[in-house]
């Protein structure tokens, strides 16, 4: 499956170019959208993913999921958040993806060098001290990538809201090599 080539000009050529230019970043995004829309042709697609798969991944800007997985527009649902962890909101999105839009498989992707490896739940306490209100959400930080992928797989597999939990696989993406490493859902026993 080939990935379509970009037809539009990139927003920037280098980090130094980001500092030049007029307007805010949002202004530049809107300008880029106008260029995109000028050449846009409605692909006539349905909202149902062709491959019937939902991918849950970290929001890290270094990961182009379509490129990493060889996907094309319309192939999958993409759910991204900090760490790619399975939260209540992720389960909400997966439930809608499965029950209303026909997905059957779930792919979970964490990655090396993730910022969630260096955070702790103390982040919530620091926010509370700063703004005077404790966040209602958990940080979902983790010290072990593999174990958090296992936990995320387990959360999907045991959710009563999901219809299809038999095809759930988890991976760690290496940001230096571009390779995915599959995580065994079972924890290996200590020798």
pLDDT tens for 49-95 read 999 999 999 999 999 999 999 999 999 999 999 999 999 999 999 99
129 Cα distance to chain centroid: 29
Residues 6+ apart with CB under 8 A from 87: 81, 137, 138, 140
Backbone angles phi, psi at 108, to 5 degrees: -110, 130
Q: Does the pLDDT value for residue 106 go beyond 50?
A: yes
Distance CA 126, CA 134 (A): 9
Q: Whose CA is closest to 138, among 85, 178, 187?
A: 85
By the 8 A CB rule, do 48 and 54 touch? Answer: no
pLDDT of residue 38: 95
> What is the band of 186 on the pLDDT scale with cuts at 50, 70, 90?
confident
């Amino acid at each position: 499956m080939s990935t379509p080539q970009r037809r539009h000009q990139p927003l920037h050529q280098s980090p130094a170019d980001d500092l030049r230019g007029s307007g805010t970043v949002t202004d530049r995004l809107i300008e880029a959208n106008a260029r995109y829309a000028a050449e846009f042709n409605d692909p006539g697609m349905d909202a149902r993913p062709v491959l019937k798969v939902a991918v849950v991944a970290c929001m890290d800007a270094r990961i182009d999921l379509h490129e990493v997985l060889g996907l094309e527009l319309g192939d999958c649902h993409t759910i991204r958040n900090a760490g790619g962890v399975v939260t209540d909101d992720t389960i909400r999105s997966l439930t809608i993806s499965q029950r209303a839009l026909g997905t059957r498989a779930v792919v979970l992707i964490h990655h090396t060098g993730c910022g969630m490896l260096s955070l702790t739940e103390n982040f919530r306490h620091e926010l509370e001290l700063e703004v005077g209100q404790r966040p209602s959400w958990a940080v979902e930080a983790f010290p072990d990538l593999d174990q958090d992928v296992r936990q995320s797989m387990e959360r999907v597999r045991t959710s009563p809201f999901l219809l299809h939990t038999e095809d759930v696989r988890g991976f760690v993406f290496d940001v230096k090599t571009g390779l995915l490493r599959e995580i065994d859902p079972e924890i290996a026993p200590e020798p």
